[in-house]
Structures are given as C-alpha cells and as structure tokens.
C-alpha cells in the first residue's frame, strides 16, 4: 500500500498570504489528522477529520482551517500568514473506525513564511 | 490541561548499550501511549504503543513500560545500533478524543559506533 502523501513538500510564502496544503491518506483510511511541528512548540494537534466532518480540534486560531473530501483526501488552509506559522505540517491517517488506532504520518510540508 | 513531559532532550550512548527515555503525562484520563521515531526529512513512524490495561510491552529490542499510578511511561531500547539514531517522541491520548495525540518534546538519540 502506498503511504500517506503530502503536497507540496516545500512552500515559501510571505506574511499576509494564504496557503493550502494537501494530504492523501492511505487507501481505505477515513480519518486524517493534521499536526504542526516547530522547534519551539514541538508537535501540536491541529484537527482531525472523518467522513468529511471535523471530529476533533486543537487550540489554534481560526486562521487555520481544514476540510475533507468524499475520497478522504484532506486539505488544510492557513489564512493571513504570520512569521510564526513557519513549520513542518504533518498529516496522519488511520482507518478511523476504532479507538486508539495507529496513526500513520506523511513526510510533511515544510512551510516558510517570510 | 493536557501535557506530556519527556526526558532527556538528548541522549548519547555507545553502540550496544541500552537507552531509556521517560515521559510523564498530566491527564489521568489518558489511556493510549504510542512512541514515534522521526528521522531527518521524514514524518514520525510508530515503533511501539501501549494501552492502559497493560503494564509492559516488548517488540524485539524495544520495550515500553507504563505506571498508571505515577502517570509515567518509558521506552527502553536494548543493544542499540547506529540506525537507532533519530528523534523519539512519546505521546498520549484519551479514549474520548483518541485521534488527538499530545506529544512530548522529543529526545534526540545518538548511537556512537
């Protein structure tokens, strides 16, 4: 099975712009979670989607949003970018039908905000 | 609130020695504790996990122990090899939000040949 794929892998934006990141889960997986990884704050949970519905949400401002499509692919959007949004954005997928399943991570999208 | 503390932040061991990484969690409702290994340029990869109804779990050279009373869990790697060098993260989640992992700050493990 192909693993979790994320596009693009690298992205450079300037302050005030918005960005959309994409995640394709492992075939058959219906849950997609997003995490932000920075040297200062570590790995932080953003949100989780299952069957096109947001099921869990972390403590991030409303500038961070996401959605999931009927094929389970997910996108996250960050509007009005700030310098502090520079990070590695990771998505993880799991079947989504049982509790505490293994989450499989993609390689991440590295976002640099100038 | 939810918090996971992880120690040490860096660990250097000689090849063949053992390595131990410790984590403490604050949320008493946490009941799932995975460990991830992250290599440079890659996403985290699950290496072992443990649930709160189990005190210890082993998988070849890797073992995890859980002390629910003290709210801490540990990763033990025996007979370390240079390819074990990576950043290791512990995490915790609750049954009612099981897809929300709270991660520790990471341990950079260096195995010297």
| Alpha-carbon gap, residue A50 to A69, rounded angstroms | 10
> Which positions 63-92 of A are in contact with B (Cβ < 8 Å)?
90, 92
Facing residues of B109 across strands?
A: B11, B86
Question: Residue B17's Cα: distance from chain center in Å?
Answer: 18
| Alpha-carbon gap, residue B50 to B37, rounded angstroms | 15
Burial of A23 (0-12, 13-18, 19+ CB in 10 A): buried
Helix (H) or strand (E) holding B15: none
As a whole number, mean pLDDT of residues B12-25 equals 97
Q: With 80 as the cut, is the pLDDT of residue B1 above it?
A: no
Query: In Å, how far are A9, B20, B26, B101, B103 from B41, measured between CA atoms?
Result: 10, 24, 30, 21, 19
* Chain B: residue whose CA lies nearest to A102: B46
- A38: pLDDT confidence band, cut at 50, 70 and 90? very high
CB contact under 8 A, A105 and B45: yes
Q: With 70 as the cut, is the pLDDT of residue B68 above it?
A: yes
* Chain B: residue whose CA lies nearest to A47: B100
Spatial CA neighbour of B102 closest among A83, A25, A42, A2: A42
CA distance A71 to chain B (A): 19
DSSP notation for B47-69 = EEEEETT-SEEEETTEEEEEETT
Question: Is the minimum CB–CB distance between B52 and chain A shorter than 8 Å?
Answer: no
As a whole number, mean pLDDT of residues A6-18 equals 97
Lowest mean pLDDT among A12-16, A17-21, A51-55: A51-55
User: Which tokens belong to B42?
Assistant: 């890659």
CB contact under 8 A, B104 and A42: yes
Backbone φ/ψ region at B50: left (φ over 0), alpha (ψ -120 to 50), beta: beta
CB contact under 8 A, B99 and A33: yes
User: Which tokens belong to B58?
Assistant: 């082993």
* Interval A50-107: pLDDT, tens: 999 998 899 999 999 999 999 999 999 999 999 999 999 999 999 888 777 889 999 9
| Alpha-carbon gap, residue B44 to A108, rounded angstroms | 10
As a whole number, mean pLDDT of residues B34-62 equals 93
Question: Is the minimum CB–CB distance between A56 and chain B shorter than 8 Å?
Answer: yes
- The answer to whether the CB of B54 falls within 8 A of the CB of B66 is yes
DSSP notation for chain A = ----EEE-SEEEE-TT--EEEEEEPPTT--EEEEEEEETTTEEEEEEEEETTEEEEE-S--TTEEEEE-TTS-EEEEE-S--GGG-EEEEEEEE--SSTTPPPEE---EEEEE-
- The answer to whether the CB of B66 falls within 8 A of the CB of B75 is no
């Amino acid at each position: 099975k192909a693993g979790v794929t994320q596009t693009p892998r690298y992205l450079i934006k300037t302050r005030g712009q918005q960005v959309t990141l994409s995640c394709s889960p492992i075939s058959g997986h219906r849950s997609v979670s997003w995490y932000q990884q920075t040297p200062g704050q570590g790995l932080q949970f953003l949100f989780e989607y299952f069957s096109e519905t947001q099921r869990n949400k972390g403590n991030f401002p409303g500038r961070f949003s996401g959605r999931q499509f009927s094929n389970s692919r997910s996108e996250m959007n960050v509007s009005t970018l700030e310098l502090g949004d520079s990070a590695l954005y990771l998505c993880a997928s799991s079947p989504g039908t049982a509790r505490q399943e293994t989450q499989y991570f993609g390689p991440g999208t590295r976002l640099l905000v100038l | 609130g939810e918090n996971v503390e992880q120690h040490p932040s860096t660990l250097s061991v000689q090849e063949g020695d053992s390595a131990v990484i410790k984590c403490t969690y604050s949320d008493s409702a946490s009941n799932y504790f995975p460990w991830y290994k992250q290599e440079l340029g890659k996403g985290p990869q699950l290496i072992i996990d443990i649930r709160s109804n189990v005190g210890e779990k082993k998988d070849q050279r890797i073992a995890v122990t859980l002390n629910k009373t003290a709210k801490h869990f540990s990763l033990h790697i025996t007979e370390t090899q240079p390819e074990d060098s990576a950043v290791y993260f512990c995490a915790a989640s609750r049954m009612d939000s099981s897809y929300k992992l709270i991660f520790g700050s990471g341990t950079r493990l260096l195995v010297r040949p």
